[in-house]
Structure formats: C-alpha cells, structure tokens
Amino acid sequence: MTEDLAVIRHLSKKFSPKSPPALQDINVVIPKGKIVGLAGPDGAGKTTLIRLMAGLLLPTDGSVTVAGFDTIKQPEEIHAIIGYMPQRFGLYEDLTVIQNLNLYADLRGVIGKERSDVFERLLNFTSLKTFVDRLAGRLSGGMKQKLGLACALIRKPSLLLLDEPSVGVDPISRRELWKMVHDLLADGISVLWSTAYLDEAEKCDSVILLNEGKLLYHGTPRELTQRMEGRSFLITNIAKNRRQVLSEALKEPNVMDGIIQGSSVRIVIKEVKTPPIALEKLDAGSEARIEPVPPRFEDAFVDILGGGPGGYSELAEKTPPIPYDEKPVIEADNLVRKFGSFVAVDHVSFKVKSGEIFGLLGPNGAGKSTTFRMMCGLLKPTAGSSFVSGMDLQVASSQARAQLGYMAQKFSLYGNLSVSQNLDFFSGIYSMEGKRRRQAIDEMIRIFSFTPYLDMSAESLPLGYKQRMALACSLMHKPHVLFLDEPTSGVDPITRREFWNHINGLVEKGVTIIVTTHFMDEAEYCDRIGLIYQSKLIEIGTPDELKKLAQTAENPSPTLEDAFIQLIEKHGRNNVPK
C-alpha cells in the first residue's frame, strides 16, 4: 500500500462556457515514488491536467491536492515542491546552459556548496558537462530535453511534471531520458509523464488514458493489456500483397483492428476462438502463417474506443488507376540545404518507385520537412536537384504541379473560412470547374463525413477533422504523387488507421506516396524507409531489412526503434549539431 502524493477529485475544466470541457470529472491519484503515464491524442486534455496540477490553472470544478496542499488555496507551497518541464522544455534559448541552470537555482534558492554539488550531479547525470557555455538554442533536441529536465530537478522536487518530454526527440535520447527519470523514482520522487507514444505509457507503473477530456482508463498498463490477452496475432510469410491481406482481414467479422507491420500484418480479434480467423480467405499464399503475439497498450486503447474503422476506403475506390511507370517517380539527387552556417539537409539522395509508399523517419529537426519542401519546389536547394515525375519542380509549370498533392505539417487551411468554403477554394486553385468541381467536393464531403461541419470555421474543427480536411484538400484534384508531411501526428489511433486505409488504398491504385513521421509504428506501413538523423540520410531499406540489421542473439525480434538506435550508433553519434 503506497501513499498517494497527488489526489485529483472530480476535476473539470472549461475554458469558455460555449466550448466543450477540456477535462470532465477526472478522478485519479499519483502514488509516491511511482511514475504515472499520461497518455492520449492531442487535445485530450493532457497539458490542461498538468497545468492544473502545477497550480497554473484554476479548476472549474473539483480539486487537486499535491502533498496535502490545495492548488487553489496554496499555489505557492505547491510551486516550492514541484518540478515542471513544459512542452518545448521552458528554456531560455539565448542563455547558455550554465546561465539557465543558474537562473533556476537562484529562483529555487539553491546556493553555495549545495549549488555546486547539485550542478556537478546534474551535469554528470545529463552528460552536459562539456556544453555548459553553449547557448541552449544551439543544443540538439535531445540535449535540450535533458537540460529542461535538469532545470526542473534543481531542488529535488516531490512531484515531477513532464509535459511530452520525448515527443519528436531521437530514440537514443528518448531511452536515456527514460532511464534518467526512472533513477529518480528510487529517491522517492513521483513523476507524471505525459506522452503521445503509447509504447511509452505502457512502460509506466500506472497510466492515465485520456480522450477528448474524458478519463478512459486509470490503472496499471498490465491490467489493461491483460484484457486483450489471446486476441492479438501476427500474419507472417505473406506471399503477395500485404496491403490486400490487411484489407481482406478487416472485412472478417471477428477482426476488430489490424495494422501493417513491415511485411507482416498484425490483427486484433473480437472474440477468442481457434482458429482466430480463416486464413485461407485472405489470399495470403500457402506459406502464410498466423501466430499469437503479446497484446499491446494500443490494442486496448482501440478496443475502448470501439474498434478500428475497418479497411474500406471509398476514396481509393473513386480514384482511377494510374499506370505503372518504369522510371522512378520521385528522385532526390544529393540535395543540400544550408541556413546560414547550419546544414539542414546534407547530401540526401533517394529514389521512389511508381506506386510505392516511401517514409522519411527521423526526430524533429533532423531535416525531414526541409527535404520535403525542396522536393515540392517550395524551397530552393543550396546544391543538388530533385525530380518528381521527371520534372524539376523548381522550374516546372503550374500545370505540371497539378500532378502532385501536398499536405503540410502545420495546419494549412484558411482557419476563418468554413469547411465548404475551404473545399471550394482548394478545388478552385487546382482550376477545377463546373460539374467536375461539384462532384469532387461532394465526394470529399461524403468520404470524410464533413456534412455536420460544413458551416463551421476550419479552425474550430476537432483536430482529427482538421487533418481530414487537409488531406481532402490535397487530394481533390486526384494527384499522381502525394507528399504527406507528418499527416497523423497527434491524432487518435482510430483516425490514424482511417488515414492509413486511404493511403494504402491510394497506393494500390498506383499513386506514389512519400510521407514523413517520427512515429516508429507508422513507419512500419511504408514499403521502404529512409532514416534521417542530423541532416543526413543514414540508411534506406524496407522495414524488415532495417530491423534485421539490429538482430542479435539477445534480441531476436528487434523493433524499428532498436534498428534506428543501432544505426545511429554505427553512423557515429556526434551529439553536437553544427
């Protein structure tokens, strides 16, 4: 029986009377000396909950107490005992590492001998010792993350609040941070770790799962995954097309959810029975085998949300088939882009075949989006060239550009135009007219079920619908080549599956797709992946080829993340961005 450090009772938060509540009747506890994962898609209420716990927001209803102090009446006492690392780490980028540390040490009253001891310990702990005089803005993402943590730890807190500390950071730094935070638990510090990666939540002592402001689950991750025991399977040795196998499998009545995992297909069934499904119906070839695999946290999340969206894509159905082209559709030839003295993209070359999904995988700031923008002709390369369908987009006509669709990472619609106005506008800029235009718009409205949202302004849409809108607008003119820059970052697992249904369906029709992501499991959907790390493309291969590189006796079935880490280490990890 452990003592509870923080107790949250009937907590609700509304930001304005009209809007739906950001949090609704949350009841959770954070035990002493434990790490609690706070999981959920963007907009679920994770940051709001953390800010309420830090006494930075007032609850609309209910209460939060930390170590017996009430956040409404005693915020000062709470500020004295918490360490808080906001998103983007709360660092002064124009101060050096040591100046940042000095500031927070002064503010928290850590002085004299105590300060030098703490600094010594924290700098060792974070391996930042050789970088004390470097500006925080010049650190890599992983190093910023560690410095942010060090600043939050200057006076040993009772409760450490970390708001998405690992999102978009390279996998080595992610693992190091995880280990560092785990070491703190032994000192009796309680940790609340918010994350969009469900595999991370799975490793916590207990987990709070939020969706749209509601508490879906609170307890140990084990308890939740146990519910799914015996329901997860992997279909391997697929002879033909794994995407078709997945789409067939999702038609089976007993299949609740399914995803592609490299060259295999992973499914979750509704009821436990043997055999789980009739394999022969899937047209997976005579060699295909189905074997049980341990359940994952995400399986349970999808289960709570009522199962996956199925495997049918009307969007793909309506897309006319595109003939296969012998020549590579997308080609990057030694692309270089410098911003001042900083090399954002360093001699990146790759080719994408017709009808292929190619993924660029890498942490934030590695150069994925910059590469993308050069290929779409939005940014001029410092050196090198790129071709899409044989054209250099730096000089190609707008007619040639109409061949491709581009979905930007940031919300790129007109926020104060309504959904239907946005659809009208985007069909207009691709010079669609008359009946064809009307048809395309109606199709998108039906496929993405926009009907109830037509008169809403685009910026007030829920996140999942914003992403759907952005995809719809990039697809209305039926492009042959599709550029998707982090299309599913932050959305819930159901919406993500729906997106991949469309992407998979479009590829089957011959559309060539290039996609960036920092989600490892999303990269599994791709035919081939390019790993980007510190501006360089360090490896290209199919997901299975890459995983094989990391295979060892101790780790017979490595994940893509294991492979990435292995490759970064092989590539030589100079931690210092130039």
Partner 1 sequence: MSRNKGSLRRVKAMIIKEFFQIIRDPSSILISLILPLILLFLYGYGVSLDADHIKLGLVLEDTSPEAQSFSESLTNSRYFDVTIKRDRRSFTDDITRGDIRGLVVIPSYFSSFRHRQDNTAPIQVIADGSEPNTANFVQNYVLGAWLIWLQQQSYTEKLEGLPLVQSEPRFWYNEELESRNFLIPGSLALIMTLIGTLLTALVVAREWERGTMEALMSTPVSIVELLIGKLVPYFILGLCSMTMSVIVARLIYGIPYRGHWITLLLVSGVFLVAALALGLLISTLAKNQFVAAQASMVTAFLPAFILSGFIFEITSMPQAIQYLTYLLPARYFVASLQTLFLVGDVREVILPNTLAMLFLGILLFMLTARFTVKRLD
The stretch near partner 1 (CB under 8 A) out of 101-109, 231-239, 272-280, 429-437 is: 101-109
At residue 392, the 3 state secondary structure works out as coil
Report if residue 57 touches partner 1, rule: CB under 8 A: yes
Under the binding rule (CB under 8 A), the answer on residue 82 touching partner 1 is: yes
| Min CB(96)–partner 1 separation in Å | 8
Nearer to partner 1 by C-beta: 79 or 156?
A: 79
Site for partner 1 contains 459 (CB under 8 A)? no
* Other CB atoms within 10 A of residue 234 CB: 15
Q: What is the DSSP letter of 195?
A: E
Query: Applying CB under 8 A, does 533 fall inside the site for partner 1?
Result: no
Helix, strand, coil % over all residues of the chain, rounded to 5: 35, 25, 40
Cα distances from 321 to residues 83, 324, 442, 479, 511, in angstroms, run 56, 9, 20, 11, 8
Examine residue 394 and tell whether it contacts partner 1 (CB under 8 A): no
Nearest to 162 by CA among 338, 300, 35, 16: 35
Tokens, residue 87:
């998103």
* 109: contact with partner 1 by CB under 8 A: yes
Q: Which residue lies nearer to partner 1 by CB, 77 or 346? A: 77
At position 290, the amino acid (one-letter code) is: I
Q: Are 24 and 214 in contact (CB under 8 A)?
A: yes
Q: Which of 102, 409, 421, 460 binds partner 1 (CB under 8 A)?
A: 102
Q: Which of residues 119-148 bind partner 1 (CB under 8 A)?
A: 135
Q: Is 243 helix (H, G, I), strand (E, B) or coil?
A: helix
Q: For partner 1, which residue of 8, 23, 36, 91 counts as binding (CB under 8 A)? A: 91
Task: Decide if residue 90 touches partner 1 (CB under 8 A).
Answer: yes
Among 37, 44, 84, 373, binds partner 1 (CB under 8 A): 84
Token pair, residue 524, equals 């599994």
Q: Pick the closer one to partner 1 by CB: 151 or 250.
A: 151
- Strands across the sheet with 512-517, in order? 404-407, 481-485, 512-517, 357-361, 528-533, 536-541
Interacting residues of 435 by C-beta distance below 8 A, sequence separation 6+: none
Quick check: 61 and 12 in contact, CB under 8 A?
yes
Stretch that binds partner 1, among 106-114, 189-197, 381-389, 514-522 (CB under 8 A): 106-114
String of contacts with partner 1 for each residue 2-31, x by CB under 8 A? -------------x----------------
Q: Please report whether residue 98 would count as binding partner 1 according to CB under 8 A.
A: no
Minimum Å gap between C-beta 79 and partner 1 is 5
**Nearer residue to partner 1 within complex by CB, 139 or 514:** 139
539 with 530: CB under 8 angstroms?
A: yes
User: Which position among 73, 88, 251, 548 is part of the footprint of partner 1 (CB under 8 A)?
Assistant: 88
Sign of CA dihedral 302, 305, 311, 317: negative
- Site size toward partner 1, by CB under 8 A: 36
From the number of C-beta atoms within 10 Å of its C-beta (0-12, 13-18, 19+), residue 373 rates as buried
Q: Please identify, among the stretches 78-86, 307-315, 364-372, 429-437, the one whose residues bind partner 1 according to the rule CB under 8 A.
A: 78-86
Of 2, 20, 73, 94, the residue at the interface with partner 1 (CB under 8 A) is 94
> Which of the ranges 55-63, 218-226, 236-244, 541-549 carries the binding residues for partner 1, by CB under 8 A?
55-63
> Considering the rule CB under 8 A, would residue 342 count as an interface residue with partner 1?
no
Q: Does 339 bind partner 1 (CB under 8 A)?
A: no
388 three-state secondary structure:
strand
The DSSP 8-state label assigned to residue 219 in this structure reads: E
Q: Which of 29, 98, 103, 567 binds partner 1 (CB under 8 A)?
A: 103
* Shortest distance (Å) from residue 112 CB to partner 1: 11
Q: 444: closest CA among 475, 413, 414, 416?
A: 475
Identify which range of 90-98, 213-221, 340-348, 441-449 contacts partner 1 by CB under 8 A: 90-98
Cα separations in angstroms, 330 against 392, 397, 485: 10, 17, 15
**SS3 assignment, position 53:** helix
Rule CB under 8 A: which residues touch partner 1?
15, 51, 54-58, 75-76, 79-80, 82, 84-95, 99, 102-104, 106-109, 111, 135, 151, 161
